[in-house]
Amino acid sequence: MNGKPHERLGWSEALAVYTRPRVIAMVFLGFSAGLPFLLVFSTLSGWLRDVGIERTVIGFFSWVGITYSIKVFWAPVIDRLPLPPFTQWLGKRRGWMFAAQLGIAAGLTGMAFTDPTADIGRIAWLALLVAFSSATQDVVIDAFRIEAMEARYQGAMAAAYVLGYRLALLAAGAGAFYLAEDFSWRIAYLVMAALVGVGLTTTLAVREPPHAVDPATRRLEERLEAEVGATRPDGPWSRLQRWLADAVVAPFVEFFARNGRLAIAILALIAVYKLSDITMGVMANPFYLDLGFSKKDIANVTKIFGFFMTIAGSALGGLLAARFGIGRPLVWGAVLVASTNLLFAWLAWTDPTLVKLAAVVSADNLSGGLATAVFIAYLSSLTNTAYTATQYALFSSLMTLPAKFLGGFAGWVVDGQGYAFFFLYAGLLGVPAILLSVWLTHRSAHPISQRGSG
């Protein structure tokens, strides 16, 4: 852990972060990352149901999403292995990114020219290709984002990414449905395949980030190679042992060696930081409907207010991270996310009006956007640039798994105790994140684990 204190930027300097070319590029890379997501989930489900595919079959298609949850298993390959000829042409990160985007475009084009009623199996395989390529692209874009700018700018990079991602969700969700309604599903998916060109063009336009490995990391790898006996004369088995030691084992050993006893507390914070936010989100739409709001009112408030307030929160989070460092905004984000659950409890106790709904949803999305941008910056600061893809993929998986598990009990809590109690319960789930972030912030002058040089 680096004890060097964060160099504070003035407000004008912090705001100017959003004019940096690589921050701007993250809007387009975020768009590229968000575009495929709905096209293999809710938009695809709508297409399949629209042409008469049975709901049971549509449900099985959700398994395609498992690829996003297990991307950590092939992240070491992305971190260490070249991908001919793309790596030689574009570099370590851009090469994998470009190949993944080609896979997405090919899969979407293939889906556009396939009739689900005649060949549902082919649609499934093509959807799997899109999901696998998309998950791979996520790993590479995360690694590129972390390596392209230093830790103080990661909040702004995350905010730009969130903006692009949200715009892509609008295009792949509402945009695809509009195209399908006015033209056809084939046209809709062909247009989405063409929009992959945004990512391809950006990949060609940006510069490859540096990939230097610091001496301490290199010594760690040599020690691990010796312990597994991979120092013998070169051969296939010896090369495989070295690769496994350097690409699979070293990222985890390095993290614990670098952070020492703080490693467990850091992992605990990663696991609980999103508990309150994700758990509450499971019951948000049922809550709005049970309050008596129309689907149109819910769409207008959550999509319009929600979109702009999330973007505003993300931008504010990036600004605060650049201005104050990551530690204090990390605490503020945890407090705000937990506190907004109290507003939902208040809404459950009072006579609901559209103005109250808009105010509560706006506060929730603003705090959620701020916390997300700062937390992504925090996770980014935890990585060593020798293992960026592998370590960040691990952190992002750990970030959502406990929250998704607890979220499964949300309906049970509501049915048993009511909405007001549920939102108080969701707020209390944020207390461990507040306590851990405060403790880690005050643990040292520079509480954020500093990633390796590079």
Answer whether residue 451 is part of any domain.
no
Q: What is the DSSP letter of 9?
A: P
Whether the CB-CB separation of 39 and 104 falls below 8 Å is answered with no
Residue 453 pLDDT: 40
438 and 311, same structural domain?
A: yes
Q: In angstroms, rounded to a whole number, what is the distance separating the alpha carbons of residues 356 and 353? A: 5
Measured over the CA atoms of residue 60, residue 115, residue 52 and residue 45, the dihedral's sign is: positive
Residue 4 pLDDT: 42
Residue 7 pLDDT: 58
Residue 21, number of CB atoms within 10 A of its CB: 11
How many residues comprise the chain? Answer: 454
155 and 121, same structural domain?
A: yes
Answer whether residue 450 is part of any domain.
no
Q: In angstroms, rounded to a whole number, what is the distance separating the alpha carbons of residues 172 and 36? A: 7
63 and 104, same structural domain?
A: yes
340 and 352, same structural domain?
A: yes
373 and 320, same structural domain?
A: yes
Whether the CB-CB separation of 14 and 319 falls below 8 Å is answered with yes
Answer whether residue 211 is part of any domain.
no
Residue 72 pLDDT: 86
421 and 375, same structural domain?
A: yes
Residue 232 pLDDT: 62
Residue 146, number of CB atoms within 10 A of its CB: 28
Q: In angstroms, rounded to a whole number, what is the distance separating the alpha carbons of residues 69 and 55? A: 23
421 and 366, same structural domain?
A: yes
Answer whether residue 303 is part of any domain.
yes
The pTM assigned to this predicted structure is 0.79
148 and 115, same structural domain?
A: yes
Residue by residue, pLDDT tens for the chain (454 residues) are 333 445 566 677 777 888 899 999 999 999 999 999 989 988 898 899 888 888 888 878 878 878 887 888 899 999 888 999 999 999 999 999 999 999 999 999 999 999 999 999 999 999 999 999 999 999 999 999 999 988 778 888 988 998 999 899 989 988 898 899 899 999 999 999 999 999 999 999 999 998 777 777 778 777 777 776 666 656 676 777 777 777 788 888 888 888 888 899 999 999 899 888 888 877 777 788 888 888 778 777 877 778 889 889 988 988 888 888 888 899 999 999 999 999 999 999 888 888 999 999 999 999 999 998 899 889 888 888 788 888 888 888 788 777 767 777 777 888 888 888 989 998 999 999 999 999 998 875 444 444 444 3
301 and 182, same structural domain?
A: no
Total structural domains in the chain? 3
Question: What CATH code is carried by the domain that includes residue 51?
Answer: 1.20.1250.20
Element holding 357 (H helix, E strand): helix 354-381
Answer whether residue 447 is part of any domain.
no
379 and 235, same structural domain?
A: no
147 and 77, same structural domain?
A: yes
303 and 239, same structural domain?
A: no
Answer whether residue 2 is part of any domain.
no
The last residue of a domain, from among 259, 288, 323:
259
Answer whether residue 300 is part of any domain.
yes
Phi, psi of 191 (to 5 degrees): -65, -40
Q: In angstroms, rounded to a whole number, what is the distance separating the alpha carbons of residues 249 and 224? A: 8
Q: Which domain holds residue 242?
A: 217-259
Whether the CB-CB separation of 142 and 79 falls below 8 Å is answered with no
Residue 430, number of CB atoms within 10 A of its CB: 26
Residue 234 pLDDT: 66
Residue 449 pLDDT: 43
Burial class of residue 19 (count of CB atoms within 10 Å of its CB; 0-12, 13-18, 19+) = exposed
Answer whether residue 153 is part of any domain.
yes
Q: In angstroms, rounded to a whole number, what is the distance separating the alpha carbons of residues 364 and 341? A: 8
